[in-house]
Each structure stands twice: as structure tokens, then as C-alpha cells.
């Protein structure tokens, strides 16, 4: 677990892959961590292996894998067969079960109002994911508030479009920033 956190601390820009065509750009970039979003069960193992073979950490977004069930058997399959470095999910039950199976967990939260903020704090304290991802990532004041209330590392993602935004997000306490724009992967 610490080597994942150390890896993101050393290189806080995370490639968020939404299109299979971006895999080669991500593995050839200087990022050390890849979030694999929007794939299907037929390509999942091949893509995870390809990313890991390039020495990068890879996380699979459980909620976005086409053809994958949304139950514990899907997590068992991911842990035993696919073997990513960890999973991402918005679902607390996925995070809890994946932790039981020894996977590193990142729980994704969408902050849209004060109630979602309070719910996030309560959920993180209850579920205890290894890390959280806050969306949209361009809300540094909220990231700063969360990091002052929670001991879990925070990643910011969503709507991040410039180097200045990345710097601002990191300055307020985020450990890393997940970015879909390829031109920001080599900063």
C-alpha cells in the first residue's frame, strides 16, 4: 500500500484512460499511475497486463467495466484473475469487499453541495478506503477542507485542464490529480 502512495507522491499526475487508443500514450508518458476507465471484460486483462508490464500502477474502475457484474464475484475475479494494483468505485460495498480481498481501494465521490460533503466525510470514516478521489477536481478550497478533516490521501479528478490547476490542487493537500488530457501527462 505504501508503495502506491509513494509512487503517486513522486509523480502526482495520473493518466485517466477513457479510450483504448490512449493506452500507448499513457504507458509511454512519464506518469507512474494509470486509472483504467471504460473498458470491457474482453480487453481488461490484456490492458492491465500491458500497463503493468511497463512498470506502472494500474487501477480498474469497477463501475465502468462493460459486461462485468456489480457483485462480489466481480471483485473476486478482478482480484484473482485480472490482478490490478487496485480498484476505483463509487460504491461503498465494493470498497469494503475489495479491501477484504487485499486490493488497494480508491473511493470516488462527487461533491455538488454541502450535503454531499458531509456524506463524503461520514462515508470515508465508516468505509475506510485507502484513498479517495474527489470530483470535480477543480475545487481546491473543498479539497483543502476535506484534507483537514480526513487522514486518507486525496486524489482530485474531473474538469482539470491546465498545469496551473494541477499545481493549485496539489498545493491544497491533494496527493495526486487524475487527468484525461494527454498533453498534461508529461508535466
Strand partners, 60: 36, 87
Between CA 111 and CA 116, with CA 113 as vertex, the angle to 5 degrees is: 55
pLDDT given for residue 93 in this prediction: 96
Domain ranges of the chain: 2-177
pLDDT given for residue 1 in this prediction: 64
Full-model pTM:
0.93
pLDDT given for residue 28 in this prediction: 96
**CA gap 137, 19 in Å, rounded:** 20
Interaxial angle between packed helices 114-127 and 140-149, expressed in degrees from 0 to 180 and rounded to the nearest 10: 40
pLDDT given for residue 69 in this prediction: 82
Percent helix, strand, coil in the chain, to 5, is 45, 20, 30
pLDDT given for residue 70 in this prediction: 83
SS3 of residue 14 by DSSP: strand
Supply the CATH classification number for the domain 2-177: 3.20.20.70
Q: Average pLDDT across each block of 10 residues of the chain; the chain has 187 residues. List them in order.
A: 89 94 95 95 96 97 90 95 97 96 96 93 97 93 92 94 94 95 93
Q: How many CB atoms sit inside 10 A of residue 20's CB?
A: 14
pLDDT given for residue 53 in this prediction: 97
Amino acid at each position: 500500500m505504501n508503495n502506491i502512495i509513494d509512487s503517486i507522491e513522486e509523480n502526482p499526475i495520473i493518466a485517466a484512460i477513457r479510450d483504448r487508443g490512449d493506452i500507448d500514450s499513457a504507458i509511454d508518458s512519464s506518469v507512474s499511475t494509470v486509472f483504467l476507465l471504460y473498458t470491457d471484460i474482453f480487453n481488461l486483462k490484456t490492458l492491465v497486463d500491458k500497463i503493468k508490464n511497463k512498470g506502472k500502477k494500474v487501477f480498474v474502475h469497477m463501475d465502468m467495466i462493460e459486461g462485468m457484474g456489480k457483485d462480489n464475484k466481480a471483485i473476486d475475479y478482478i482480484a484473482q484473475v485480472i490482478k490490478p494494483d487496485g480498484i476505483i468505485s463509487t460504491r461503498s460495498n465494493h470498497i469494503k469487499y475489495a479491501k477484504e480481498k487485499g486490493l488497494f481501494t480508491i473511493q470516488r465521490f462527487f461533491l455538488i453541495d454541502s450535503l454531499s460533503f458531509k456524506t463524503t466525510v461520514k462515508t470515508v470514516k465508516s468505509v475506510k478506503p485507502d484513498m479517495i478521489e474527489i470530483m470535480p477536481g477543480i475545487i481546491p478550497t473543498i479539497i483543502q477542507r476535506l484534507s483537514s478533516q480526513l487522514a486518507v490521501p486525496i486524489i482530485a479528478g474531473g474538469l482539470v485542464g491546465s498545469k496551473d490547476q494541477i499545481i493549485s490542487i496539489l498545493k491544497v493537500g491533494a496527493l495526486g490529480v487524475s487527468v484525461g488530457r494527454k498533453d498534461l501527462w508529461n508535466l
